[in-house]
Amino acid sequence: MTVMIQYAMKELKYNAPAPVGNMVEVDITAQFTAPDGKSISVKGFYDGDDTYIVRFYPEQQGTYTYEVSGIINDSGSLVCEVGNDNGLHGIVRADGTHFRYGDGTWFYPFGTTVYALVHQEKELIDQTMSTLKDAPFNKIRMCVFPKDYDFNKNEPPYYPYEKDDKGKWDYSKPSFEYYHHLESVIEKLMKLGIQCDLILFHPYDRWGFAHMSKEEIDMYIDYITRRLSAFPNIWWSLANEFDIMSYSFEDWERIAKNVHAGDPYSHLLSNHNCIEFWDFENEHTTHVCLQIKKVDDINHTIEKYKKPVMVDECCYEGTIQYEWGNISGKEMMNRFWKCVILGGYCTHGETFLCDDDILWWSKGGVLKGESMPRITFLKEIIDGIQGPLIYCGDEFTKEKYDALRNNPETCENDFWSAVARAPWERAKEAMNGAKDYCGHYRDDAYLRYFERRTPAIGTFNLPKEGNYNVEIIDAWNMTRNIALKGVNGNVKVDLPGKEWMAIYAYKV
């Protein structure tokens, strides 16, 4: 009996005559029945050279049965066993406001961006993979289609589709050479433990891929979900900056619906904005994806949508002329710390001017900035906590404001009376000007970050039950030192009075 590995893609390959005309809408479907009796229907695809493939992703151990129908008729059974590769944890999905692998392991995204990775020559892709091997990033944003933008003027080695006899892209004829290349990149990322946040559409185009008809979009989504849904490390990003493309909101809702319908394994799905945010209450949208420069309030976004929040673009560390691409390494580090403390996650990118126009944010290569080792340092801290952080800082909320306004007798002094008299927006600005960045995981761990503030004393109001060690952390210089041992309740920690400090209390 054939063996397959739990959480690893399994292929069934068949030889049959090539389809006539349309090479996307081929009639091959497999029904897989799991050990627990549940069944799943999976569409196959044509891969050129008279080859048809059905790809399956097994989540349960035990014996599966399958039946293939359409142009191929076949049946059989497969035994799913645990693999020896400890890196196989399954598909990442949303769990409340955070993420988990299929086996229950928490996944904390520390992302980066290489938009046109797939559209570079082999040598540059290999160099990028070598860089990623030693980097902290476990998620990468990259595009299916080539990109035309400043610093991105090279022609790709492959295009996703063939052209017809009139020189137009024929979306019924995928380029198998391109898709083999795309899959090789996804597989390389998977071996490095990196999730591939695959961007299906984007507006930066000179080839015509950003202007598909409805019928062409449907064929594209049908084919790419047939081919890629069984890859464990795929996330679906509907677009990069969807709102500056020519499609309507209704078009995007239909695309989201079709991606979800074409993916039998329910991979993560979201949509990236330029100006106008996507509707994160959309039933097929699994998490919030944001392009924002000010990350200070994402805890409210988490509260609003009750979904995980990814700040997938918070500007880039670098030196280019555009304001979105010239923040410092310190500021990139700062935004990562803020996002994590607030209960969300962040994505990195680099845009350093160079003579060869190889900027990491689009083409990859090597990392040149100062933030990467600091992000590694932060990730090591977060990975050491038993579960994900939830924001617990002391924040002046609308509920507290309304309580003061509605019950003026509760104002303890003239200061609070003045707060109650002020308009809400002004009161919020005054009271939350220096946000309390503090997150916790249950009563096991507390992490407070002072960002640009320079206190000489840090405090925690820890539970009175249990004992905690308290560390002083220098986020920029990447140091950790135990300041207190076996403490609880209200504690004070002496600090050096400089920027980028944090304190970390954990139960012992």
Does 388 map to a domain? no
Instruction: Quote the pLDDT of residue 413.
Output: 86
Instruction: Quote the pLDDT of residue 382.
Output: 99
Read off the pLDDT of each residue in 238-255 and give the average, rounded to a whole number.
98
Average pLDDT, the chain: 97
**Residues in CB range of 417: below 8 A, 6 or more apart:** 408, 411
Identity of residue 402: D
| 356 and 441 share one domain | no
| 371 and 225 share one domain | yes
Instruction: Quote the pLDDT of residue 65.
Output: 98
Model confidence at 1: pLDDT above 80: no
| 51 and 125 share one domain | no
Model confidence at 393: pLDDT above 80: yes
Does 257 map to a domain? yes
| 425 and 491 share one domain | no
| 204 and 343 share one domain | yes
Instruction: Quote the pLDDT of residue 252.
Output: 99
Does 220 map to a domain? yes
Instruction: Quote the pLDDT of residue 329.
Output: 99
- Going by pLDDT thresholds of 50, 70 and 90, the confidence category of residue 408 is confident
* 3-state SS assignment for residue 264: coil
Share of residues in the chain with pLDDT > 70 (%): 100
Q: 109-121: per-residue pLDDT in tens?
A: 999 999 999 999 9
Q: 272-320: per-residue pLDDT in tens?
A: 999 999 999 999 999 999 999 999 999 999 999 999 999 999 999 999 9
Identity of residue 367: L
Instruction: Quote the pLDDT of residue 155.
Output: 97
Model confidence at 259: pLDDT above 80: yes
Model confidence at 135: pLDDT above 80: yes
pTM of the entire structure?
0.97
| 232 and 343 share one domain | yes
Model confidence at 143: pLDDT above 80: yes
Instruction: Quote the pLDDT of residue 463.
Output: 98
Q: Does residue 331 contact residue 443 with C-beta atoms inside 8 Å?
A: no
Does 34 map to a domain? yes
330 phi/psi in degrees, rounded to 5: -65, -40
Does 239 map to a domain? yes
The CATH number that applies at residue 14 is 2.60.40.10
| 211 and 262 share one domain | yes
Instruction: Quote the pLDDT of residue 75.
Output: 98
Instruction: Quote the pLDDT of residue 282.
Output: 98
Does 94 map to a domain? no
Q: Does residue 57 contact residue 91 with C-beta atoms inside 8 Å?
A: yes
Instruction: Quote the pLDDT of residue 433.
Output: 80
| 169 and 238 share one domain | yes
* 3-state SS assignment for residue 207: coil
Does 357 map to a domain? yes
> How many CB atoms neighbour CB 184 within 10 A?
13
Q: 472-494: per-residue pLDDT in tens?
A: 999 999 999 999 999 999 999 99
Range(s) of the domain holding residue 56: 2-81
* Alpha helix stretches (DSSP H) within 229-282: 249-262
Model confidence at 249: pLDDT above 90: yes
Structure tokens at 103: 């086996």
Does 209 map to a domain? yes
Q: 415-463: per-residue pLDDT in tens?
A: 998 999 999 999 999 998 889 999 999 999 999 999 999 999 999 999 9
* 3-state SS assignment for residue 145: coil
Name the domain boundary from 359, 383, 407: 383
Name the domain boundary from 52, 81, 110: 81
Structure tokens at 298: 């994402």
| 139 and 224 share one domain | yes
Composition of the chain by helix, strand, coil, percent to 5: 25, 30, 45
Number of domains in the chain: 4
| 127 and 8 share one domain | no
The CATH number that applies at residue 334 is 3.20.20.80
Instruction: Quote the pLDDT of residue 207.
Output: 98
| 133 and 232 share one domain | yes
The CATH number that applies at residue 496 is 2.60.40.3950
Instruction: Quote the pLDDT of residue 205.
Output: 98
Structure tokens at 34: 């799991």
Give per-residue burial for 190-201: e unless 16+ CB within 10 Å, then b. bebebbbbbbbb
Read off the pLDDT of each residue in 211-235 and give the average, rounded to a whole number.
99
- Going by pLDDT thresholds of 50, 70 and 90, the confidence category of residue 407 is confident
Taking Cα atoms as reference points, which of 223, 222, 283 lies closest to residue 258? 222
| 425 and 456 share one domain | no
